[in-house]
Each structure stands twice: as C-alpha cells, then as structure tokens.
Amino acid sequence: MGVTYPVVAPASTQAPYPGATDAAIAAWWQGVRLKRPGWGVPDFFIAVAAWLVFSIVSGVPILLAQEGTAAYAWLLLVGVALPWLGMGGWPWLISRLRGNGMRLDFGLRVTKADIGWGLLFGIGALVAAGLIAAGLTAIFGEFDSSAGEVARDLDDFPVARLLFALAVGFGAPIVEELCYRGLLMSSLLKRGTSRWLSVVLSAALFAAMHLEPIRFALLFAIGLILGWARVHRNNTTTAIVAHMTNNMPGAIGILFLL
C-alpha cells in the first residue's frame, strides 16, 4: 500500500523545493503535499561510511577462507552484496524517514523516454570508456578492473559466476546510482549547487570510491555521462539505465568467461 499524502493546492512557483525531481514536481502539481527533504550531503558520507564498514566486515572472512574453494567463492559474493546495505540501504531509509520516498525524492520513475535516453547515454559511456581504456593501456599496459579480478576467482563456480554477472549488470548500477546520482546529486542540487558542478563532484567521488587509481580517468568520464543523464532527464532512472547499459558487456563477459 502506497503512502497517502494530504491534498493541497500547488503554489505559483515552478517546483516544491530546489532540486526537486520531475516525479516530485508532477506529484506536487497534482496536489500532493510534499515536504522539503531533510536529508542532505552528510547522509551521502554516512552511506559511504556504512559501505566501508560492511566492506570490512565482509572482507575478514574472505581473508580467512582458502582460495579456489566453494566457500571462498560464496564469501566473495557476500563481499560484493553486503556493502550495498550501506550504499543503497541508507538512501532508502532516509528518504522514507526524512523525505517523500525514493520514487519522488530521487525520481525513480519509468517511462519509455527515460529508458531510451538511458540507452543512448549508456552507449555514449561505453564509447568514452573504450577510448580512454585504449589510452590507459598504451601508457600502463594491460590492466583489469576489480570486478574482473573477482570474476577470475569464480571461474570454477558457474552459479556464483552467474549471480556475480547479474550483480555487475543490474545490482551495482541500481545501488551506485541511488547513492551518487540519487542521494548525492539531489542533495547538492537542493543546496543550490549548479547542475554542472553537481555532475563533476558526483563523478569525481564515484571514480575515487572505486579505489582503482589506474581506472580513475575512465570512471570519471563514465560518471560525467551518468550525471549528465541525471540532470538532462531530472531523474535517477535514466542514469540507472545508462549505468546498466555501460556494465552489460562486462556482465556478459563474466557470464561467458570472455
């Protein structure tokens, strides 16, 4: 059962609060009373801190397990998914407690236009990442992502590898976009930060938090495009679809050991 809001007449301004998503604006003009969200930039850092704590907690058993065993493979999967409780769980919780819910606060709507634009932005991210990867390879030689390293450890475990491919293709884009283009960018926009500075800041933190120095430029470029998708359509759904599109070749490669 959805949340029922009191109905009030909308004011004469264009949005209920600075940085409101299109979904929130549409609901507001339909007479839904929205409160100005009480979450902000500090909550992004709480989500990141929770992600770090859960990463450490899940990483200890991995260090104690024997590589190449089934137990090690499943612990790796737990190590991938458990930190999402912080990165995705905190935005969900605070949007319910101090906002209007993720659908309105972060613009989680689904329309054909949002999906179409998401696919276009995702293809753009793939092209940019490919060009930058070629340059990085010329400078540093062959390199791999952390996801690629995990995939190699799962080579002998098809079910675990399938689940990891699904996590890369679908889970990670949803969780990361909720945190970076949802919570962080919405918080910056709500504070009056310009759209393009919000895009740059979210892209820089997105790239840095992957903890892969060689791939920073590549991840930063992807983050810029995902942020552009967020502001262009004023919702997080488009960025999620773009992120999924960007990750899909890697997920397919994991699945089929490419």
Q: What are the Cα distances from residue 139, in Å, to 73, 129, 133, 134, 143?
A: 33, 15, 10, 9, 11
Locate the domains of the chain by residue range: 22-30+38-255
Tokens 């990165």 correspond to what residue?
87
Instruction: Tell the burial category of 256 from Cβ atoms under 10 Å away from its Cβ (0-12, 13-18, 19+).
Output: exposed
pLDDT tens string 154-190: 988 999 999 999 999 999 999 999 999 999 999 999 9
pLDDT tens string 120-134: 999 999 999 999 999
Could you tell me the pTM of the whole model?
A: 0.92
Q: How far apart are CA 90 and CA 48, in angstroms?
A: 9
